[in-house]
Amino acid sequence: MTEPRNVVLLGATGSIGGSALRILRAHPDKLRLVGASAHANADALLQIAEEFELKQVCLTDGAAHEQALKNKPDGLEVLCGSDGLDELATMDAAGVVLVAVVGTAGLSPTLAALRSGKDVALANKEALVAGGKFVVEAAQAGGARILPTDSEHNAVFQCLGGGSAKGVEKIILTASGGPFLDWPAERMEQITPEEALRHPNWSMGSKITVDSATMENKGLEIIEARWLFDLPPERIEVVVHPQSVVHSLVQFVDGSMIAQLSPPSMTFAIQHALLFPERAPGVDETVSFVEPFSLDFRPPDPERFPCLRLARDSLVAGGVSPAVFNAANEVAVEAFLENRIGFCAISRTIGQTLETMENLEPVDLNDILAADAEARQVATAHLNPQSMP
Ligand code: NAD
Ligand code: MG
């Protein structure tokens, strides 16, 4: 029998983190948790450390780290901050690092892990959106693999049999369309955070749930796909599929299409990435054909969901534009969730930030980080409280 693969889980207390822990519990013979991180929830992280008998964890929030040092058992090392996250991501024992932290915070540990030769199961999409070129270079330099873990990209990866995009005409990412798929434009100004957080199919963290409601999420995923599969923007299509059962499709040059289907739970994608190229029984029910059901597809509406167009524009513009697109969104979503701006102000803020900032070709990661920081300042200045419902 082969040894289990050692897993480091960054963002263990989140939605993806929780699904990953279910998979780890189900397959102790194949996967072993050796490190985990959380931002501020010290108690939950210490509990995970106890359950999985970890020797190293990391809390990125300083106050939570202080608290954990008081409560931690002997023999457990608690690392701190983003340096601690990088250290955990490169620990000797790590075989694969599942990056499931939210936001640009995922970029640094992703680069660190790949450079040190660790495979990365990448759920965090913001890392590729902000610094795709450098993430791909880091994987090449370290001889490591990026295992697509976002459900759509994992679906494409599965349709390609884990291989390259040879013979592919285009990929088609499916989008649920979110809770406001059929809402008229006039009603969309009044959308509240409570309404935006009620996703019809998926249970996820709050930032990505709002991103799904604006369809920013699909915009981020177009950019993510560009780097994962090395395809130009015009060969990455989006189709609205409200049931979220088909997670994406690949169309080959001869016109044939292959799709991947599973119920809307992230465990299918996470488990596939962690075990690749092996397979094992899943932890959730599969699609059942005992009851009748239908699958619908329709084109997206970029008028009511301008984030889709902004994503494409920033991808075509290249340079630091996608990083700006992502950072402005992070600022705007936070303001929306705190009731400081209205729903439609999210895409307006992104558009204004992209227009205000000068684009440049990043020479190194510092250029990305500088653009990210400046975009946050510019976006904050553009937040428009007048557009409150
Ligand atoms: P979440 O908010 O539920 O969890 C985020 C995790 O990251 C938590 O463990 C939190 O403690 C940690 N974290 C928060 N801020 C941090 C920071 N500044 N530095 C380090 N760690 C921090 O988020 P989620 O829904 O699990 O999503 C995680 C990532 O996976 C996101 O990038 C999201 O876009 C992507 N993703 C999520 C889903 C999903 O179904 N939830 C699907 C596809 C992709
Ligand atoms: Mg997705």
pLDDT digits (tens, 9 = 90+) for 297-338: 999 999 999 999 999 999 999 999 999 999 999 999 999 999
- Which amino acid, residue 380? T
> How far is it, in rounded angstroms, from Cα 209 to Cα 305?
15
Task: Yes or no: say if 217 and 199 are a contact pair by the CB < 8 Å rule.
Answer: no
Q: How remote is the CA of residue 155 from the centroid of ligand 2, in Å?
A: 10
- The DSSP bridge partners found for residue 251 are 170, 257
Percent above pLDDT 90 for the chain: 96
Q: How remote is the CA of residue 261 from the centroid of ligand 2, in Å?
A: 14
The model's confidence at residue 1, banded by pLDDT at 50, 70 and 90, is low
Res 388: pLDDT = 46
pLDDT digits (tens, 9 = 90+) for 80-122: 999 999 999 999 999 999 999 999 999 999 999 999 999 999 9
φ and ψ at 58, to 5 degrees?
A: -145, 135
Nearest-CA residue for ligand 1 atom 20 is 39
pLDDT digits (tens, 9 = 90+) for 15-36: 999 999 999 999 999 999 999 9
| CA 276 vs CA 30, 89, 159, 313: distances in Å | 11, 19, 14, 34
Contact residues of ligand 1, CB 6 A cut-off: 11-17, 38-39, 41, 60, 100-102, 105, 123-126, 150-151, 202, 204-205, 208, 266
The model's confidence at residue 353, banded by pLDDT at 50, 70 and 90, is very high
Average of per-residue pLDDT values in the chain = 96
> How far is it, in rounded angstroms, from Cα 352 to Cα 328?
9
φ and ψ at 60, to 5 degrees?
A: -80, -25
pLDDT digits (tens, 9 = 90+) for 173-183: 999 999 999 99
Q: Order of strands across the sheet with 77-80?
A: 77-80, 56-59, 31-38, 5-10, 96-99, 119-122, 146-148
Q: Which residues contact 355 (CB under 8 A, 6 or more apart)?
A: none
pLDDT digits (tens, 9 = 90+) for 223-246: 999 999 999 999 999 999 999 999
pLDDT digits (tens, 9 = 90+) for 139-197: 999 999 999 999 999 999 999 998 888 899 999 999 999 999 999 999 999 999 999 99
Task: Yes or no: say if 270 and 11 are a contact pair by the CB < 8 Å rule.
Answer: no
Tokens of 30: 């194949």
